């Protein structure tokens, strides 16, 4: 079960994750097969934890981790909806962090 921000509980839904990823990856060089693999990894991650309930925020953060490694544009698209940026400054801060992380990864 997934525990929503307002306390409601609903069944874990692979399709919701898939659709969110598909929308974030739209017009990016990312195949449907790869999106499906990401959904599988996310689902397996939470199954392996063995907990009966997971917070929706944990699912969202896991999706963002996957997208962060995969594609910067898709990551920012998803993050802008998921984190509900209040203004352009928050959006720019997220981009800045993304770019800094990419530069650090290149140095390694």
Taking each helix axis from N to C terminus, what angle separates 72-82 and 56-70, rounded to the nearest 10 degrees? 160
Please measure the distance between the N-terminal and C-terminal CA atoms of the chain and give it in whole angstroms: 39
In this prediction, residue 12 carries a pLDDT of: 94
Give yes or no for a contact between 73 and 99, defined as CB atoms under 8 angstroms apart.
no
Span 58-70, mean pLDDT? Answer: 93
**In which domain, by residue range, is 67 found?**
2-107
Q: Enter the pTM of the model.
A: 0.81
Overall domain count for the chain: 1
Least confident of 33-37, 58-62, 90-94: 90-94
- Whole-number average pLDDT of the chain: 90
Least confident of 18-22, 29-33, 70-74: 70-74
In this prediction, residue 107 carries a pLDDT of: 78
In this prediction, residue 105 carries a pLDDT of: 74
Give yes or no for residue 5 having a pLDDT over 80.
yes
């Amino acid at each position: 079960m997934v525990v929503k921000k307002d306390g409601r509980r609903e069944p874990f839904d692979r399709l919701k994750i898939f659709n969110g990823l598909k929308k974030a990856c739209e017009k990016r060089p990312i195949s449907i097969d790869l999106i499906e693999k990401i959904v599988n990894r996310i689902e397996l991650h939470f199954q392996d934890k063995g907990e009966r309930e997971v917070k929706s925020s944990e699912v969202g953060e896991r999706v963002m981790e996957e997208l962060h490694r995969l594609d910067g544009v898709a990551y920012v698209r998803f993050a802008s909806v998921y984190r509900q940026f209040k203004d352009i400054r928050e959006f720019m801060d997220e981009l800045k962090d993304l770019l800094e992380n990419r530069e650090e990864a290149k140095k390694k």
